[in-house]
Amino acid sequence: MSALPESALFAPVEAYLESQGYRVQGEVDHCDLVARRGDEPPVVVELKTRLNLELILQATERFALTDAVYIAFPSSAALWRRHWRRVRKLCRRLGLGLITLDGEELLVNVRLDPAPYRPRQSRPRGRRLLAEFEHRVGNANVGGVTRTALVTAYRLDALRCVLALRDGPLALRDLRERSGVDRAAPILQKDHFGWFERVERGVYELSPKGEQAPEAFADAVGKLERELEAS
């Protein structure tokens, strides 16, 4: 598909729109394709051999001319497998229509029609975002870094439990009081990080991995220790 000229995309889209009763013209006022049916507002289609930022920017500029703007490009199995949902969501948010040209025959597939976007916020996700933000200590994560263990609010609470257990095993009741972590019981019982071991019912100690956790998260632990000193 990479060697396909952009002009090769015009004919399939033209034929499809003509089959829907549109008159079609190419390269009208810098638009790749303009179509009109009767007295309806014009339809603009911007063509590219692949989805990229330039295509999105060109298409959004066409909203100065009409609300009916589509982007069209050849589909690829890899793109749809990895990004199909996000591509649709992006186009829906921008109010763009989406056309793919599929296979070697460049079959026209209208995936999404233009429509005004009416965003819906998720209140539970918004509450989780604020709770996570407010529960963190300091700023232990660098934005944009990947494949690195994030210091989340949950991990901070687990580290508080680690600090409380450094002097030896504790019952859950004593651990909650010493660490100040109300959810200490599920943290130790689920033990997502492998930091804790049960000595007996309701009593826990650090695992060998847990003993290494303060060193692995030294910056976060330092902030927690200063927090304890200040309390």
Averaged pLDDT, 126-135: 66
Q: Mind giving me the DSSP string for 48-108?
A: -SS--HHHHHHHHHGGGT-SEEEEEEE--HHHHHHHHHHHHHHHHHHT-EEEEEETTTTEE
Is a pLDDT exceeding 80 seen at residue 119? no
Is a pLDDT exceeding 50 seen at residue 102? yes
How does pLDDT run across 145-203, given as a tens digit for each residue?
A: 445 566 788 888 999 999 999 889 999 999 999 998 999 999 999 998 999 999 999 99
Is a pLDDT exceeding 50 seen at residue 122? yes
Q: Output the pLDDT for position 129.
A: 67
How does pLDDT run across 62-90, given as a tens digit for each residue?
A: 999 999 999 999 987 667 778 888 899 99
How does pLDDT run across 104-118, given as a tens digit for each residue?
A: 889 999 999 998 766
Averaged pLDDT, 27-49: 93
- DSSP element (H, E) containing 170: strand 170-171
Share of the chain above pLDDT 70, in %: 84
